[in-house]
Amino acid sequence: MLQSLDLSMNNLTGTIPEEVSHLSVLWYLNTSDKNLEGGIPAMLGLHFENLAWFSNNPNLSRRPLEVSYEDGKCS
């Protein structure tokens, strides 16, 4: 199973697909220094505590997390 994914030092462009959120054992994702755009899939922040390294992607935006105080879950 894929646990670590380093996509730095390539010529990738476009968006991060929502399907990346389905990589349930992924603990490291590096997309730094790319020409990525759009939003970071919201589920990445919910399931994967150690995911980071979205730096130097000026067109990539994080979606704000919405917290439900009733059930304590973020979405």
> Could you report the per-residue pLDDT of 13-62, keeping only the tens digit for each?
888 888 888 887 877 777 777 777 877 776 765 555 555 556 666 676 65
Q: In 1-75, where do the E strands start and end?
A: 4-6, 13-14, 28-30, 35-39, 59-61
* CA–CA distance, 48 with 34 (Å, rounded to integer): 21
pLDDT at 19: 86
**How far is the first Cα of the chain from the last one, in angstroms, to the nearest whole number?**
26
Range in 6-10, 28-32, 50-54, 65-69 with the lowest mean pLDDT: 65-69
pLDDT at 66: 47
* pTM greater than 0.75 (yes/no): no
Which residue ranges make up each domain of the chain? Answer: 4-61
Selected from 3.30.56.10, 3.20.20.80, 3.40.50.720, 3.80.10.10, the CATH number assigned to the domain covering 4-61 reads 3.80.10.10
pLDDT at 7: 82
